[in-house]
Structure 1
Amino acid sequence: MTAFILVSGTFTGGWVWEEVTARLEESGAEVYPVTLTGMGDRRDPAGPGTDLETHIEDLVRLIDEVEAPEVVIVGHCYGIHPVLGAADRRPERIARIVHLDAGMPRDGDPALELVPDRAVRDRLLQAEQAEGDWSIAPPSLDEWQRWGSTVGIPAPALERLVRLAAPQPLGTLTQPLRLSGAVPGLPMTGVLCTANGAGIAMVESLVGLGDPRFQALIDPRVSFFELGTGHWPMLSTPDELAGVLLRAAAGEGHRLTAPSGQPAHLRPFLMEVPERSRERVGRVDLYLPDAGRPRPAVVFVHGGPVPADVLPTPRDWPTYVGYGRYVASLGAVGVTLDHRLHDLTDYERAAEDVAEAVEFVRADPRVDGERVALWYFSGGGLLSADWLAAPPPWLRCVAATYPILAPLPNWGLSDRFRPAAAVRTAGRLPIVLTRVGLESAGIAATVEEFLTAAKECEAEVEVIDIPFAHHGFETTDHTEQARHAVDRAVRAVLGHLRN
């Protein structure tokens, strides 16, 4: 018999698992929905000394009491921290760890560091420093979205979530997780809630980048599932979640494999483009046309976050080299750059890098500084918001290819990085948007939000659709349709620069 130990995220208790528990018990499994010390109906035992270690000990005691030979322990959101701590101390009892829309904390990581919302982190740090303040109040109804997407939660369940939420002891979020090294040897399943931003394709791309933190995910003992819902699947899709947990316990799920040959982002560009001379100055590369007079420029802004130690860096990836060469072959200066978007907390720094690169390019005597286009890709799309909000007169066009145009749920970015709002003040600035049909649901939703706002304010947007293309199609989808879309987008941008 399998026993499931279910551990939910911040502010909640075992009650959030009621429907999932019922489904699992109907299958014949033992189920232990956990309410950790200080949470749910266990508020009284909490105090200034309640910390992550307290919650780990809660789970260790429970594991010792469970008699079932196989224990599958599920950690949702914050819950993965005490789950990993307890599994590290009782590895012989754990058949599988399930990361339910949860991160991958390592030894020494406090849960607070993995909260992407800067405003939430600052609030927690201020509370920690306040004398006598040892817990943080749960979010209001409007604030829950900061802790993860509430998409799919029925209104009564969301109301109950707010009503029953308990203050979170600060020590549970600030105390570092300590692991001995036993956890990596245990089977693991990741359940990704795609409406909260992440999906299997995104994880595969991170593995393909060569980031060492993600190489363990290609282990055959690691599997993945997707749920098309927000961050609280136990409330939004309990039947589907129960089914996924049973399949995970049986060892099912999608397996990642090591990239064969070149990683997807390093495969050849989809078009044959002429070689062009390239000049490299600092973080900026210039692809120069054959011309004696100043020419307009297209600045290509790569996506991310891209880990700092990934080599080659994005400006040497075939996609950006290909675009830079192509626009140079058509008479404009192609510009690529490496900006420092290495983490979700780096958007402000990356925005500064882009602004500095643009000023550098405009000052080059070979560039007509009054005719510049900015072209954004993927997660770099959020960096377009500053320029859309207040377009300078020299900015003749903004382009975006498979972009993210609003922060994904729980990314925790300010409204400064929300192009879907900034477009309302873009005026008549031309926008060229390349949209792929095989996009993830979370990213596609941000594009629709942008287009809805653009339509309402009558912004000048040209949409180029590629129905059967993927995110990053330039090196994965070498089809005539994709090549035509790239050519159309490039010529549209250059047309705006020449008008």
Structure 2
Amino acid sequence: MDILLIGGLWLDASAWDAVVSDLEARGHRPVPVALPGQGDGSASATLDDQVAAVLAAVDAADKPLVAGHSAACTLAWLAADARADAVSEIVLIGGMPGNDGEPYADFFEVEDGVMPFPGWGEFDGPDSADLDERAKASFAAHAVPVPEGVSRGVVRLADERRFDVPVTLVCPEFTSAQAKEWLAAGQMPELARARRLDYVDIDSGHWPMFTKPAELAGILARIADGV
């Protein structure tokens, strides 16, 4: 199956390299999506540009599974909104979809038109507990500042058929039990309306593509295979 992989903030497509090789060995066709403004040197990219890149990847694939990580869970969900009939399933890794009318990822300060990686102090605890100092240094060195037009872009959802697309929430630094509590408390309104929502735990921090790539690939492969 075609599996589209969409990285979160500060990541370029190479973040998925270890996951890609494992998925290929399992017989799938992984496609890391190159997001405008995250790896191509463009600081003027907008959220619409990133959505267009994701939709182009969907259109070029054969009924793909679309996996989004962290903030890009919203990009995966926007793909379900725009291409409900063309997406087989959505996988959300370490995040949840944003809501219509809200900023995409206005989480940290913008400097000179971009939102740089804010440093590891913002991610102390479960997010980064499985990253050693060498891994942290490598991440920070390769982190791509996210254009303001992306981080502060407004999410627009329009087609309620998105709720018909099956969803799996992969839970890394939080557990499926916690996610279910958030859902019950009304903190994930988009997922609360999903007609099929499954949960999978993975024992990792927020970036399992770096720390548990084989396990993450196994989870994606099993979802794609319907196991």
TM-score when scaled to structure 1? 0.42
Distance 2:83 2:225 in 1: 20
Match of 1:184 in 2: 163
Instruction: Indicate conservation of the 8 Å contact 1:144/1:150, yes or no.
Output: no
Structure 1 unaligned regions, length at least 5? 128-132, 253-499
Determine if the alignment matches structure 1 residue 216 to structure 2 residue 193: yes
1:216-272, Cα deviation, whole Å (9 max, x unpaired): 35x3x22110111110000111111111111222345xxxxxxxxxxxxxxxxxxxx
Determine if the alignment matches structure 1 residue 151 to structure 2 residue 126: no
1:371-430, Cα deviation, whole Å (9 max, x unpaired): xxxxxxxxxxxxxxxxxxxxxxxxxxxxxxxxxxxxxxxxxxxxxxxxxxxxxxxxxxxx
Distance 1:62 1:148 in 2: 32
Match of 1:138 in 2: 117
Distance 2:209 2:52 in 1: 24
Match of 1:166 in 2: 144
Distance 2:145 2:185 in 1: 39
Determine if the alignment matches structure 1 residue 87 to structure 2 residue 80: yes
Instruction: Indicate conservation of the 8 Å contact 2:92/2:167, yes or no.
Output: yes
Match of 1:31 in 2: 30
Match of 1:73 in 2: 66
CA 1:245–1:137 in 2, change beyond 3 Å: closer, same or farther?
same
- Shift of residue 210 of structure 1? 7.0
1:422-479, Cα deviation, whole Å (9 max, x unpaired): xxxxxxxxxxxxxxxxxxxxxxxxxxxxxxxxxxxxxxxxxxxxxxxxxxxxxxxxxx
Q: 1:64 aligns with which of 59, 62, 82?
A: 59
Instruction: Indicate conservation of the 8 Å contact 1:152/1:237, yes or no.
Output: no
Q: Which has the higher contact order (CA 8 A, sep 6+)?
A: 2
Distance 1:178 1:60 in 2: 14
CA 1:210–1:109 in 2, change beyond 3 Å: closer, same or farther?
closer
- Shift of residue 200 of structure 1? 1.5
Distance 1:236 1:158 in 2: 11
Instruction: Indicate conservation of the 8 Å contact 1:11/1:166, yes or no.
Output: yes
Q: 2:205 aligns with which of 216, 225, 230?
A: 230
- Shift of residue 158 of structure 1? 2.7
Match of 2:218 in 1: 243
TM-score when scaled to structure 2? 0.88
Distance 1:157 1:94 in 2: 34
Q: Quick one: which amino acid aligns to residue 158 of structure 1?
A: K
- Shift of residue 205 of structure 1? 2.9
Structure 2 unaligned regions, length at least 5? none
Instruction: Indicate conservation of the 8 Å contact 1:154/1:236, yes or no.
Output: no
- Shift of residue 97 of structure 1? 0.6
CA 1:148–1:170 in 2, change beyond 3 Å: closer, same or farther?
farther
Instruction: Indicate conservation of the 8 Å contact 1:73/1:97, yes or no.
Output: yes
Q: Larger strand proportion, structure 1 or 2?
A: 1
Determine if the alignment matches structure 1 residue 52 to structure 2 residue 47: yes
Q: 1:203 aligns with which of 179, 200, 211?
A: 179
Q: Which has the larger radius of gyration?
A: 1
CA 1:143–1:168 in 2, change beyond 3 Å: closer, same or farther?
farther
